[in-house]
Structure 1
Amino acid sequence: MLWNFFVVVLGLAIFEIISSVDNAIVNAHVLKTLPEKYRKIFLFWGLLFAVFVVRGILPFLIVWMANPALTIGGVMTAVFSNDPQIKEYLVASKPLLLLGGGSYLFFVFLSWLFLEEKKYAFLVEGFIHRQGVWFYAASSIFTVAVVYISLKINPTLALAATIGIAAFFITDGFKKNAEEQEKKMLTSHSMSAWSKILYLEILDASFSIDGVIGAFAFTLSVPLILLGNGLGAFITREFTIKGINLISKFAYLKNGAMYSIGMLGTLMVAESFGKEYPFWLAPLNMLILIAIFLGLSIRELRQTKTI
């Protein structure tokens, strides 16, 4: 039992860190334009907001959306309860959580693979990126296939899948807008420090959705998700302060994060349709993928002698 706890929390923390690398880099760039006083305000209060508000509330909201018969207060009580009836509610909602979250994560992966500028770890990545217009065909085929299979099993599953896909397009729009705003912030002197801090908090909330949704691939235990994601968020903030220049040198770390997201999304979708996996499969696959791309990054750094 203790081993299960350790593996899940470690996996959650690592996933939170790697899925937040982009966020940490943006934070570091914007923080450089702020006076020291406001940097400290963001790094202290921003951490509290990120951990206790955003990552603290999101898991409960997701569970509540899958269990609308319960109130928000009921969900908060349920996740810490041993009541058999409440456990039945949560178990019954598991396929909905997994399919909605898995669809969201798989779209994040497809968008990165087809549309996002990246350093190619493999030649096939460059080929797929040049065929970026096929993202829309691939995402349409995925949507039709998932909805078709869902309708044959349980129509509510189809709704969960479309909610997950809609959530992707909403958050993706926020992220794309954030990229444009970052460019303006780095060159503009008219935006106030408080406006930049507010922007960073909104950006953090949109990025944190990936980590929170992916957490359900590791466990449905909200207390474990809170612990693992909170630990990962704290470490990410430390990187923002001290180690972001080093982290940004690992050119393929983002690739590893995205392949991990694609893998987790695939596992969640398959599990929502009845396939069962051991608890250690998601953390182990993620660690293997991260190790591969970290190794590729270190090899390139040694070749260029910049590590």
Structure 2
Amino acid sequence: MLLKTFGWSVAITVAGLVGGFFLGGVSGLAIVAILIVLEVSLSFDNAVVNATILKRMNAFWQKIFLTVGILIAVFGMRLVFPLLIVCLTGGVGPMKAIDLAIKGGDQETPGTYAYMLHEAHPSIAAFGGSFLLMLFLNFVFEDHKVKWLKPIERPLAKIGKLDQLSVVVALLVLVLASQFLAEDAGTVLFSGVLGVMTYLLVGGLGDLFEQQGLAEHDAADDADEAETDSKESAENGKDEKELPGVGKAAGKAAFFLFMYLEVLDASFSFDGVIGAFAISQDIFIIAVGLGVGAMWIRSLTVYLVRQGTLDDYAYLEHGAMWAIGALATILFISIKHEVPEVITGLIGVGFIGAAFLASVRRNKRIAAKGGEVEHVHA
């Protein structure tokens, strides 16, 4: 199981380290290794959240997530997206942006690629912070059967019955951040509103088509499709264990869930992409290091789904969501104040670690009473 799930990540890590050596010698190899650790530590909570969504998709779309998704993550978010940001915010053409990226330069020197990307950070932070805040608020305002931080989660679930409260709170936070933390309030406000709209649009379309897909699946006129899915599942079963919860979303539903995952990954990767320039100014070394780290996160996501970890450890998803809330807060704060990446990483790992330990204690209590641990996410 471990070799099958993480085998490609190990192979790509070796290739990435070799690539780092060819790009920058021993120093390049070391920087790639550091960036891999940086990406994994910053995005560990992303793997847990991704798993809650990935388990709703069928085997085909899970493979798309690991293949096409990783290409989008590496070349799209870690290479093309920063170039696009420099083009839009710096008022330069694509070729000029590529030329600046190749030339390098540090964040303190005006006109350099790193400087332009750093200057665009408030807009990026507002978009990512708003998107992640919406995700966090929609979770804590929902009344879950199992609660981790009961004194906090219970009252939040009660007030969460107010319709669209998450949108109201997110926009309020955005307005406050734009007024008190941003030099250019209009730009930050605009970017944040786009983040909220993106969350509502992509997440809403995913839920809509998933519900339609489930309704169609129950209809008698979809018997032939159900038979085809059964055959595909049998064929996949020859090669690998069927994943828990697989087969719930396919077609349009799975496509929009996939898009939702990619936007989610983008929101998580903003701080890593920008923070990486404090370690190296070589965009190719940065892309290699962060790309390998992204592959590990995707492998970890699939591992969590295949092992049913979220079902076995009831508070793990809660910990990841609180880590997301913390990351959203950090992104808003970073509009004005520098926040070291190590703090961001430690907070995320801290929440998930605490949730995992609390889940273990919960399972032991239930087992001691002779009960059976209930799979709360099943």
Bin the TM-score by the shorter chain.
0.7 to 0.9
CA distance in 1, matches of 2:207, 2:97: 33
| Residue 64 (structure 1) aligned to one of 69, 79, 84 | 84
Instruction: Select the residue among 291, 297, 303 that pairs with 1:232.
Output: 297
Deviation at 1:173, TM superposition (A): 1.3
The alpha-carbon deviation at position 171 of structure 1 amounts to: 2.5
Cα contact 1:64–1:70 (8 A) shared by 2: no
Q: Distance in 2 between matches of 1:45 and 1:105?
A: 23
Query: Please, what TM-score do these two structures have when normalized by structure 2?
Result: 0.67
**1:263 matched to 2:326:** yes
Q: Deviations over 1:134-181 (max 9, x none)?
A: 435423422332333367545322222222222222233134325524
Return the alpha-carbon distance in structure 2 between the equivalents of residues 145 and 57 of structure 1: 31
**Which of 241, 262, 265 is 1:211 aligned to?**
265
Q: Secondary structure at the match of 2:120?
A: helix
The one-character-per-residue Cα deviations of 1:186-243 (angstroms, maximum 9, x if unpaired) are 6354557599256424312212322221122334246244332222113323444x31
CA shift, 1:7, in A, is: 3.6
- Structure 1 residues 102 and 42: alpha-carbon distance in aligned structure 2, compared to 1, 3 A threshold: closer
State how 1:1-307 maps to structure 2 within 5 Å.
4-27=34-57, 31=58, 39=59, 42-53=61-72, 56-59=75-78, 60-61=80-81, 64-65=84-85, 67-68=87-88, 69-71=91-93, 82-83=104-105, 85-115=112-142, 117=144, 119-123=146-150, 124-132=152-160, 133=162, 134-149=165-180, 153-177=184-208, 179-181=210-212, 183-184=214-215, 187-188=218-219, 189-190=222-223, 191=225, 193=229, 196=250, 199-220=253-274, 221=276, 223=287, 224-240=289-305, 242-243=306-307, 245-273=308-336, 275-305=337-367, 306=372
For 1:249 and 1:79, locate their aligned partners in 2 and report how far apart those are by CA, in whole Å. Answer: 45
Change (3 A) 1:12 1:284: closer
What is the CA–CA distance in structure 1 between the aligned matches of 2:293 and 2:133, rounded to whole Å?
Answer: 22
The CA deviation at 1:260 is: 0.8
Cα–Cα, structure 1 residues 91 and 144, in superposed 2: closer, same or farther, change >3 Å?
Answer: closer
- Structure 2 vs 1, CA of residues 179 and 78 (structure 1 numbering), >3 Å: closer, same or farther? farther
Q: Distance in 2 between matches of 1:151 and 1:128?
A: 29
Bigger shift: 114-123 or 193-202? 193-202
Residues 253-305 of structure 1: CA deviation (Å, up to 9, x unaligned)? 111111111111111110112x1222200011111100111111111122223
1:246 & 1:16 partners in 2: Cα distance? 15
Moved more, 256-265 or 75-84: 75-84
Residues 31-80 of structure 1: per-residue CA shift (max 9 Å, x gap): 3xxxxxxx4x5554552112113664245347624641345666566656
Contact kept? 2:105, 2:113, Cα under 8 Å: yes
Unmatched 5+ stretches in structure 1: 32-38
- Between 183-192 and 109-118, report the one with greater CA deviation: 183-192
Shift in CA distance, 175/117, structure 1 to aligned 2, threshold 3 Å: farther
TM-score by length of structure 1 reads 0.80
**Distance in 2 between residues matched to 1:58 and 1:71, nearest whole Å:** 19
Count of matched residue positions in the alignment of Structure 1 and Structure 2:
293
Q: Is the 8 A contact 2:126 2:192 kept in 1?
A: yes
Q: Which residue of 2 aligns with 1:34?
A: none
User: Is the 2:129–2:329 contact (alpha carbons within 8 Å) kept by the matching residues of 1?
Assistant: yes
Supply the distance in 2 between the matched residues of 1:147 and 1:280 (Cα, whole angstroms). 25
Confirm or deny: 8 A CA contact 1:114 1:129 kept in the other structure: yes
Structure 1 vs Structure 2 CA RMSD = 3.2
Contact 2:51 2:301 in 1 (8 A): yes
In 2, the alpha carbon distance for the partners of 1:253 and 1:74 equals 45
CA distance in structure 2 between the aligned counterparts of 1:179 and 1:117, rounded to whole angstroms: 21
Q: Write the letter of the residue equivalent to 1:304.
A: I
Q: Distance in 1 between matches of 2:205 and 2:99?
A: 32
Shift in alpha-carbon separation, 1:130–1:183, aligned structure 2, 3 A: farther
Shift in alpha-carbon separation, 1:79–1:269, aligned structure 2, 3 A: farther
SS at match of 1:120: coil
Check whether the contact 2:148–2:315 (CA below 8 A) recurs between aligned residues: yes
